[in-house]
Amino acid sequence: MSRRQFQPPPRTDAAPPDDTGCTILHVDMDAFYASASLIDRPELRGTPVIIGGGGRSVVLSATYEARAFGVTSAMPMTRARRLCPHATVITPDHDRYAAISAAVMATFESVTDQIEPLSLDEAFLDVSGAVRRIGPPSFVGQWLRDTIADEQGITCSVGVSSSKFVAKLASGLAKPDGLLVVPDGEVVGFVQQLPVAALWGVGDRTEEVLLQLGLRTVGDIAHTPLETLQRALGDAAGAHLHDLSWGRDPRRVQPSQVEKSIGSDETFPYDVDDPAVIQRELLRLADRTAARVRSAGMAGRTVTIRVRFADFTTITRSRTLREHTDVSRDIYATARALYDALGLQRARIRLVGVRLEGLIPVERAAIQPRLDDPDYGWREADHAVDRASARFGPGAVRPASLVAESAGFRPPPRTRQPPRAPSAG
DNA sequence: TCTGGGGTCCTGGTACTG
DNA sequence: TCTGCAGTACCAGGACCC
């Protein structure tokens, strides 16, 4: 809980919007990573700034001045630099973002304990328990905006409504630096005027399907038979969109969301066809994944690998183990077996990933020592590595093959062979 | 133009079991 | 013993979100 008590601002005489029953707030930081990066670089305010790395990375965030040139999040950096060559490029500082996010979440906690973070820069709040203590939801929303601006030096936008879906739409329309209330009686009209792509769950593919059906607005979806939507999009997605098109969204704010999987992907700076390089990368990713799983106090049962080829086709392979594990060696061995089973012969690979799914708390995992386990086995070794990493920094202790890699590894020359199709299964 | 990294959820196919 | 069926678990991939 927050150590700071809520301090209500002076009330104004402006007529408040009708926010009766609108107890769901969606708070979304404006261009969060860019705004956070400019706290220490105030001279760059009002100028185009792009947050992103080099090589094959994409744009993490951009100031509104850069967005005016067509730069958007997730756009390849090479393209962003072309669109806005005079922009200042800043390398992301994730530790800084996490610290600011934690401070913002603490501000939320001074209002309500019903907080559902969606990411570092946005969250749903259910303020129904705070209305009597603090004031109407829109008043709470404005106080949050003022407080975050004062204390963190960044702006945010707030959507206020009676459901998560509409609150999120409202915050998006309020951007930047605004607050929008959608009263209960206006939800259907508000939603149905929007284009189909505004709906949560409609991405490029689904939008294309809907447009092919002649559906351009949410109102069009609302007046389409449910069976037609389900035939085109599947039972779940069809029903979901039909509900949203009438403003129906019964999902409640869920304060605690348990992780269901943990994993890491890595895109190589160049396409790789050397099996040894890929095996080392799998080892590194398995190590990293296992450390995160142990740090979260979890254990998982299904190991999934992902392989993306040079032509961007992507395959996944998974295997469910007999027992849950948090041991680096088990995860690597399974990932390696899955990769070997692909039977790839010098295919050009762009990315590999390792993920552990089916997570449960480690104390519920009932991990059984095997008869051939030594007294102090791989789990104890992992915990020793974790302790060393905590004391001396990540990577203080690594598998020997990774140490050799950092000492002398050189990337292989680029090749021109096309990717080989993976074997069936 | 050329596409990151970390996730969740859903769907359809297949294998297994009673 | 064989076959068909239903339920379940697993697997692979697609789509989506931030």
**Quick one: pLDDT band at residue A11, thresholds 50, 70, 90?**
very low
A73 touches strand B (CB under 7 A): yes
- Per the prediction, chain A carries an average pLDDT of 82
- Of A105, A110, A106, A108, the C-alpha closest to A120 is A105
A196 touches strand B (CB under 7 A): no
State the pLDDT at residue A192: 92
- Can you give the distance from the CA of residue A300 to the C1' of nucleotide B17 in angstroms? 25
Query: Which positions on chain C have an atom < 7 Å from some protein CB?
Result: 9-18
What is the share, in percent, of chain A residues with pLDDT greater than 90? 32
The CATH number of the domain covering residues in A195-245: 1.10.150.20
Q: Which stretch of A30-34, A54-58, A283-287 has the lowest confidence by average pLDDT?
A: A54-58
Condensed to tens digits (0 to 9), the pLDDT of residues A187-198 reads: 999 999 998 888
State the pLDDT at residue A389: 66
Which amino acid residue lies closest to nucleotide B11, measuring CA to C1'?
A234
State the pLDDT at residue A402: 63
State the pLDDT at residue A238: 84
Query: Which positions on chain B have an atom < 7 Å from some protein CB?
Result: 1-12
Q: What mean pLDDT comes out for the span A218-227?
A: 89
Annotation says A122 is catalytic: yes
A260 touches strand B (CB under 7 A): yes
**So what CATH class is A261-402?**
alpha beta
Q: Where, residue-wise, is CATH 3.30.70.270 in chain A?
A: 21-180
- Which two structure tokens, joined as six digits, stand for A327? 């041991």
Kindly give the pairing relationship between strand A122-126 and strand A115-119. Answer: antiparallel
A79 touches strand B (CB under 7 A): yes
Q: Where, residue-wise, is CATH 3.30.1490.100 in chain A?
A: 261-402
Condensed to tens digits (0 to 9), the pLDDT of residues A53-96 reads: 877 888 999 999 999 998 988 888 888 999 999 999 999 888 88
A43, A109, A116, A122: the active-site residue:
A122
State the pLDDT at residue A6: 38
- Can you give the distance from the CA of residue A406 to the C1' of nucleotide B3 in angstroms? 28
State the pLDDT at residue A367: 60
State the pLDDT at residue A408: 43
Task: Write a three-state SS string for chain A.
Answer: CCCCCCCCCCCCCCCCCCCCCCCEEEEEECCHHHHHHCCCCHHHCCCCEEEECCCCCEEEEECHHHHCCCCCCCCEHHHHHHHCCCCEEECCCHHHHHHHHHHHHHHHHCCCCCEEEEECCEEEEECHHHCCCCCCHHHHHHHHHHHHHHHHCCCEEEEEECCHHHHHHHHHHHCCCCEEECCHHHHHHHHHCCEHHHCCCCCHHHHHHHHHCCCCEHHHHHCCCHHHHHHHHCHHHHHHHHHHHCCCCCCCCCCCCCCCEEEEEEEEEEEECCHHHHHHHHHHHHHHHHHHHHHCCEEEEEEEEEEEECCCCEEEEEEEEEEEECCHHHHHHHHHHHHHHHCCCCCCEEEEEEEEECCEEHHHCCCCCCCCCCCCCHHHHHHHHHHHHHHHCCCCCCCHHHHHHHHHCCCCCCCCCCCCCCCCC
Measured CA to CA, the distance from residue A266 to residue A243 in angstroms comes to 38
pLDDT higher than threshold 50 for residue A7: no
- Can you give the distance from the CA of residue A283 to the C1' of nucleotide C12 in angstroms? 23
Which amino acid residue lies closest to nucleotide C14, measuring CA to C1'?
A205
pLDDT higher than threshold 90 for residue A148: yes
pLDDT higher than threshold 80 for residue A8: no
- Can you give the distance from the CA of residue A226 to the C1' of nucleotide C8 in angstroms? 29
In terms of CATH, what superfamily is A21-180?
Reverse transcriptase/Diguanylate cyclase domain (3.30.70.270)
What is the share, in percent, of chain A residues with pLDDT greater than 70? 84
A346 versus A134: the higher-pLDDT residue is A134
- Of A111, A91, A99, the C-alpha closest to A158 is A111
